[in-house]
Amino acid sequence: MEDSALELKAGEIVKIQLGAQIDGFGTIVGGNVVVPKKGEKAADAKVEGREADLLLATYYANELLLRLMVPPGLLATGTEEEKKKASAEKPPSQTKIIQLVDKVAAAYGVKVVQHTTSWLFERNEVEGKKKIILSPAADSTKGEGTPEVGDVWGVEVGMSLGSGKVKDLDKRSTLMRRTVITYGLKRPSSRQVLSEIVKKFGTFPFSLRQLDDEKAGKVGVIECVRSGVLREYKPAADSEGAPVTRLFTTVAITKNGLMRLAAPPTLDLEQVKSDKKITDEEILKILERPLAKPTGTKSKNKKKKKKPTKKAAAVEEESEEEEEDSDEE
């Protein structure tokens, strides 16, 4: 009842995330929406102050991270020697990526949300072995692996106006996901709900509302969560209760560069005003890089000039003769 009574206020930043899968190949997209004032359209809502700093930091950090994921030399131009030299460069290390994203956050006076993670997507698995972890805790798992051509990644960027440290909220979790752990469940209700989950969702996240009987499902998942068969995504927030933003993009890395398979709407920079900006030359140069090769191609089959018909040719010839007679006069 408490959650259903929650009211959004004008100016608040709301995070929305959606996911879908076809034949085990999944995509996730997440974006931010600023609640407009009464009678105001969301597209016309102007954002200023600290909320603007937060949105801009998130936007530019996301654009930076996407460019850092493009394999070195993939989009290189110039002579063959220059392309070869670019391809020989090593991809940025996890430490380097973290440092650059932290610089973007510092430019706008915000913090990267702890444990913000980008994952390799595989079939039936949205959390593969490769991962990039921004702002990892000292005792937490570090990121590993580098993006390569043929990979599909879920790219996440989270920023906060507070400490960036995360705390679990005292609210009921409704989003869950099956793990690879096997366990002999004792309760019939637990076995029944797990059977439904395996059949309908596989290893993809799902909401309790998607179960045939939500009320029975709430009871059945208790043992599943305790035994580790199910993982619950607990509602979380900044430890200081400060506003938080999040962007999530699913991308494919092809031989022609990065392709956004599922991406949030581009931030309207005209509507978001801040007195802060990025001044780091290295970051500015990276942001100028393209994400992919131009796809526009000129039509190879140019239209052939049609030959005039006999009638048109006769008219044209007659016209030329009249012009010659006129010149003689």
CATH number at residue 187: 1.10.10.10
Q: Answer whether residue 126 is part of any domain.
A: yes
Q: Answer whether residue 259 is part of any domain.
A: yes
- Ranking 3-7, 9-13, 292-296 by mean pLDDT, the lowest is 3-7
Pair 65, 146 in one domain: yes
Pair 252, 203 in one domain: no
> What is the chain's mean pLDDT, rounded?
88
Q: What is the pLDDT of residue 37?
A: 84
- Kindly state the average pLDDT of the residues 89-95: 94
Pair 43, 69 in one domain: yes
Domain count, the chain: 2
pTM of the model: 0.84
Pair 196, 54 in one domain: no
Pair 278, 145 in one domain: yes
Q: Answer whether residue 273 is part of any domain.
A: yes
Q: Answer whether residue 257 is part of any domain.
A: yes
Q: Answer whether residue 296 is part of any domain.
A: no
Write the CA distances from 240 to 10, 48, 107, 166, 244, integer angstroms: 21, 21, 21, 9, 11
Is the torsion defined by CA of 68, 115, 104, 267 positive or negative?
positive
Q: Answer whether residue 310 is part of any domain.
A: no
Q: Answer whether residue 307 is part of any domain.
A: no
**Residue 299, helix vs strand vs coil:** coil
Pair 152, 189 in one domain: no
DSSP state of 93: P
Q: What is the pLDDT of residue 4?
A: 64
Is the torsion defined by CA of 32, 38, 44, 46 positive or negative?
negative
- Kindly state the average pLDDT of the residues 257-276: 95
- Kindly state the average pLDDT of the residues 219-224: 95
Q: What is the pLDDT of residue 51?
A: 95
Q: Quickly state the pLDDT bin for 193 (edges 50, 70, 90).
A: very high
Q: Answer whether residue 312 is part of any domain.
A: no
DSSP state of 144: B
Cα 205–chain centre separation: 17
CATH number at residue 111: 3.90.230.10
Q: Quickly state the pLDDT bin for 329 (edges 50, 70, 90).
A: very low
Identify the residue whose tokens are 């009871």: 219
* Per-residue tokens: 325: 């007679």
What is the domain range of residue 222? 172-234
Q: Quickly state the pLDDT bin for 3 (edges 50, 70, 90).
A: low
